[in-house]
Amino acid sequence: MTPTLPESLLEHTFHDLVATVDDIIVRIDADGRWRYLSDAWERLLGRSGLDRFGRAAVRDVHPEDRAMVLRHWAEIRGGAGDRRRFQVRLRCGSGAWLWMQASLSGKRFPDGRFRGAVGSLSDISVIKAAKLELQAARRDAESANKAKSEFLSTMSHELRTPLNAVIGLSESLLELGAPFDPERTQRYLTLIHRSGRQLLAMINDILDLARIEAGRIKVNPSEFDLAHLLVGVLDAAQHEIRSKELRVEFPRPEAPVPVRADERLLRAVAQNLVSNAVKFTPKAGGVTLRLQTGADGVGFSVADTGIGIAPEQHEKLFRPFEQLDASAIRAHGGTGLGLALVQRILHLHGGTIAVRSALGQGSTFTVRLPAACVPPAAVPGRPPRERSVLIAESDPRQRKQLGDFYRRRGFAVRETERADEALAAAATAMPGLLVADPGLPDPGGPGLIARLRAQPPGADLPVIAIGATASAGADAHLPKPVSLAELWQTTTALTGLTA
Counts for the chain of helices (H) and strands (E), in that order? 15, 17
CB-based contacts of 318-322 (< 8 A; 24+ apart in sequence): 318/342, 318/343, 318/353, 319/147, 320/209, 320/213, 321/144, 321/147, 321/148, 321/150, 321/151, 322/147, 322/151
Cis preceding linkage at 462, omega within 30: no
Classify the C-alpha dihedral 471-472-475-477 as positive or negative. Answer: positive
Q: Looking at this protein, which amino acid is placed at residue 426?
A: A
Domain with CATH 3.40.50.2300 in the chain: 388-495
CB-based contacts of 368-372 (< 8 A; 24+ apart in sequence): 368/292, 368/296, 368/297, 368/298, 368/299, 369/259, 369/261, 369/297, 369/298, 369/299, 370/296, 370/297, 371/295, 371/296, 371/297, 372/297
Identify the pLDDT of residue 408: 92
DSSP 483: P
Domain with CATH 1.10.287.130 in the chain: 144-213
* The architecture CATH gives domain 222-373: 2-Layer Sandwich (3.30)
CATH number for the domain whose boundaries are 7-123 = 3.30.450.20
| Distance from C-alpha of 200 to C-alpha of 196, rounded to nearest angstrom | 6
Identify the pLDDT of residue 443: 64
Domain with CATH 3.30.565.10 in the chain: 222-373
In order along its 499 residues, the chain shows pLDDT tens digits of 455 545 555 566 667 777 778 899 999 999 999 999 998 999 999 988 888 999 999 999 999 999 999 999 999 988 866 689 999 999 999 999 999 999 999 999 998 899 999 999 999 999 988 988 999 899 888 877 877 777 677 677 677 778 888 888 888 888 755 566 788 888 888 888 888 877 887 787 778 878 887 777 878 888 889 999 999 899 888 988 999 999 999 998 888 899 999 888 899 899 999 999 999 999 999 999 999 988 889 999 999 999 898 888 888 788 776 665 545 544 555 566 788 889 999 999 999 999 999 988 999 999 999 988 888 654 444 456 688 999 999 889 999 999 999 999 999 999 999 888 888 888 888 888 999 988 787 765 567 888 888 777 777 888 898 886 666 678 888 888 888 888 888 888 788 777 6
106 in helix, strand or coil? strand
pTM as predicted: 0.53
From the options 3.40.50.2300, 3.40.50.300, 3.90.960.10, 2.70.170.10, give the CATH code of 388-495: 3.40.50.2300
Topology adopted by domain 144-213: Helix Hairpins (1.10.287)
Domain with CATH 3.30.450.20 in the chain: 7-123
